[in-house]
Structure 1
Amino acid sequence: MKNKKLIANIIKYIVISGLLLLYIVPFVFVLINSFKARKDVISNPLALPSTFKFSNYADAFEKMNYGHAFINTLIITALSVLIIIIFSSMTAYILVRKDWKFNKFIFFAMVLSMIIPFQGIMIPLVSIYGSMGMLNTKWALIYMYLGFGMSLAVFMYHGFIKSIPVELEEAAMIDGATRFQTFWQIVFPIMKPITMTITTLDVLWIWNDFLLPSLILIAPNERTLQLSTYAFNGTYTTDYGLSMSALMLSILPVLIIYLFLQKSIIGGVLQGSIK
């Protein structure tokens, strides 16, 4: 039995190591090529740099207007995630706790909306909002992220809230708390694990999104980091070294946040999945 268990553990670690390698290899290639000149990337993209070209990062930082693009991305991501969390948690709470006839219809409509691919509605979306003069602003983009992110967040909150005992809320109301106070002071703190899970998913989605911002944000001063990395791709040529450096700069903030908050993020995801 011990031998079988040992063999099973070895196989498990081999499989996990193989999956880890598959995830890390693309990141390593981007990191390696970010220190190369354009001709070195084209001639042998898999080789280590013969000479490390650290100036790629300084040039990419300046050309993509990193500071301004970073602020744009931070504002869009932070406000979008905050608004999604606030509205979806309250919506899910009402759908669970209120026995209204149309609640089930609203919930199933939101769940069904998740199967509609964005690519199928992006042209009508841009056409309609463009005719209304609502494009080329961060607020229009945040509004659209709210619309696209609500359904999944409500679905996840809905299942979690059903596991919270109603007696906790009834005790708070007996003590004089309003429904609003009960939700924010009693229910919402209990939902911390699922809130952390939704926050992680939405931050990764919105921070790394390219397609929707490329349709909405046209002016250069409104560009996000992901749109700024596209500035290195010309019609006939691409500076791959600078492009790789720009990619590393765009994902660096998320990596730093994850390194500092990885325990909270992993703990929240695990607790949310268990619930």
Structure 2
Amino acid sequence: MNSRSGKKASKILAGGVSILLFILYIFPFLLILINSFKTRLEVVANPLSLPKSLDFSNYINAFQTMNYGRTVMNSLFITVLSVLVILIFASMLGYFLVRWDWKMNKIIFMLIVASMIIPFQSVMIPFVTIYGNLNLLNSQGMLIYFYLGFGISMATFMYHGFIKNVPVDLEEAAIIDGAGKNRVFFKVVLPILKPITATIAILDVLWIWNDFLLPSLVLVDDNVRTLPLSTFYFFGKYTSNYSVAMAALVLVLLPILFFYFIMQKRIIAGVVEGAVK
């Protein structure tokens, strides 16, 4: 009886801790959602209280001020192209570093791993100064190029570890059948990399879609701004419209939540398979 009661108590304790952690995690999102239906005065007076009525005027105001349709397309364009470029170049680079056993490749891989330690904030000022003087800022294409530079090290590191476990026999069989090196990679190796590709894609989508700092340094004009940048319209130097800003934050979260619910099974499967490999 004592062992059973002890197991039951441990289960209850674990369940209570899980519920508490869930509440702590979900509380900020609920606070944003609740305050998005309030007026500015209600938010300032008591941000923890429930709204007196469900007023959607904040969402209409935020939608118009953010130019929501354009900014969603900007974020979608930048995120999709950046992730695709990172996946293609990182997978090819990881495959090259693993399969070609050159001394130079080991040095390159060590430099790639070392670059992951360098924080972006340490190169932020010279980054803006150099590229600003060359008039290469305020371009979505350059932003995608920058995401490739800052994201390829982690992706290559993850691909490198996964490709080492891929049997070489499959590639040798394809070469015997007459396939060239490019065909071997795209037809044989790349399909095997689906689990780790899904994992890297998920991490990069969340990073690039929610990124504020790098786009704020590169994109200046309103017509090229991303969703996180558009929320800055509601915070002025002397005043801030918190109620509309909360509605804007909800609108920013909606596309990524929609993506997660649609791709939930594949996301979980990709993360689990990538971890097992």
Q: Same fold (TM over 0.5)?
A: yes
Deviations 1:166-206 (A, max 9, x none): 11111111111111111111111111111111011000000
Among 184, 193, 196, the alignment partner of 1:194 is 196
Q: Count matched residues.
A: 275
Q: Provide the aligned C-alpha RMSD in A.
A: 1.1
The equivalent of 2:117 in structure 1 is 115
SS at structure 2 position matched to 1:53: coil
- 2:38 paired with 1:48: no
Task: Give ranges in structure 1 of 5+ residues lacking alignment.
Answer: none
The equivalent of 1:105 in structure 2 is 107
The equivalent of 1:125 in structure 2 is 127
Shift of the alpha carbon at 1:12? 2.8
Q: TM-score, normalised on structure 2? A: 0.97
2:247 is matched by which residue type in structure 1?
S
1:220-259 counterparts in 2 under 5 A? 220-259=222-261
Among 93, 97, 118, the alignment partner of 1:95 is 97
Shift of the alpha carbon at 1:76? 0.5
State percent identity of aligned pairs: 57
- Between 172-181 and 197-206, report the one with greater CA deviation: 172-181
The equivalent of 2:62 in structure 1 is 60
Change over 3 Å in CA distance of 1:93–1:2 after alignment to 2: farther
The equivalent of 2:26 in structure 1 is 24
Change over 3 Å in CA distance of 1:8–1:97 after alignment to 2: farther
Deviations 1:25-58 (A, max 9, x none): 1111001111111000000101110122211111
1:234 is matched by which residue type in structure 2?
G
- 2:140 paired with 1:138: yes
1:80 is matched by which residue type in structure 2?
S
Task: Give ranges in structure 2 of 5+ residues lacking alignment.
Answer: none
The equivalent of 2:180 in structure 1 is 178
Separation in 2, partners of 1:190, 1:155: 17
Q: TM-score, normalised on structure 1? A: 0.97
Shift of the alpha carbon at 1:3? 4.0
Among 261, 271, 274, the alignment partner of 1:272 is 274
